[in-house]
Amino acid sequence: DAGVIQSPRHEVTEMGQEVTLRCKPISGHDYLFWYRQTMMRGLELLIYFNNNVPIDDSGMPEDRFSAKMPNASFSTLKIQPSEPRDSAVYFCASSLFPGVRGYTFGSGTRLTVV
Amino acid sequence: DAKTTQPNSMESNEEEPVHLPCNHSTISGTDYIHWYRQLPSQGPEYVIHGLTSNVNNRMASLAIAEDRKSSTLILHRATLRDAAVYYCILRDDAGNMLTFGGGTRLMVKP
């Protein structure tokens, strides 16, 4: 099992550009989570999906952020337009319900918006 | 959501046991106690969880107070690779989300 796979590992973009982060969850996991981590705010849950359906997006900072899960093996987090304050490490995680074994996190995407 | 309180940082010597405390005085009867750790430049990693009884696995032990208002993660023999931020999190039986606090930064000295 390759675990949760995120791409790219690093992304540097200019302010105003569109950024797309990608995640492949562990096969068979029916929950997928997107988190953001900054020094100031720590780990914040942005949105999570159950069986490809968004369940709670209350953590999404604003309309510039959107997330999709077109199938059980792929999810994207898009920022359009990007701003310097979006610079952070973005983690994707997956789990089985009720997540008795816990979440499995990917290695993250470090986003820098200049 | 019930909150947890952890020390900001702790130090340990290599090959000695480490006891990481967590207070959760407002815990409810259906809250599970989860521990995760985050090694430098990596995503968080599941360590252990429990409800009422003490738990052991290959990574650590979890000791839960009888009144469940506190718990302790025990690393039996710290190694340099155990240097990480350790998060204590409460998760409702029906809940799907994990809310991370500040955690405890564990430093291990050779």
Mean pLDDT of the B4-21 span? 96
- Which tokens go with B102? 């500040």
* Segment B92-104, tens digit of pLDDT: 766 677 888 889 9
pLDDT at residue B66 above 70? Answer: yes
The shortest CB-CB distance from B43 to any of A97, A100, A108 is to: A108
Mean pLDDT score of chain A: 93
More confident residue, A1 or A62: A62
Residue from the list B93, B97, B101 with its beta carbon closest to the beta carbon of A56: B97
Chain A residue whose CA is closest to B37: A105
**Percent residues over pLDDT 70 in chain A:** 95
Mean pLDDT, chain B, rounded, equals 92
Q: Pairing between strand B104-109 and B9-13?
A: parallel
Helices (H) and strands (E) in chain A, counts: 0, 11
Note the pLDDT of residue B92: 73
Q: Which residue in B73, B76, B83 sits closest to B110, CA to CA?
A: B83
Highest mean pLDDT of the ranges A38-47, A90-99, B92-101: A38-47
Segment (H or E) for A12 = strand A10-13
Average pLDDT (B4-16) is 96
* Among the listed residues B90, B38, B97, B55, the one whose alpha carbon sits nearest the alpha carbon of residue A98: B97
Q: pLDDT digit string (tens) for A75-87?
A: 999 999 999 999 9
pLDDT for position B30: 84
Which pLDDT value is given to residue B49? 92
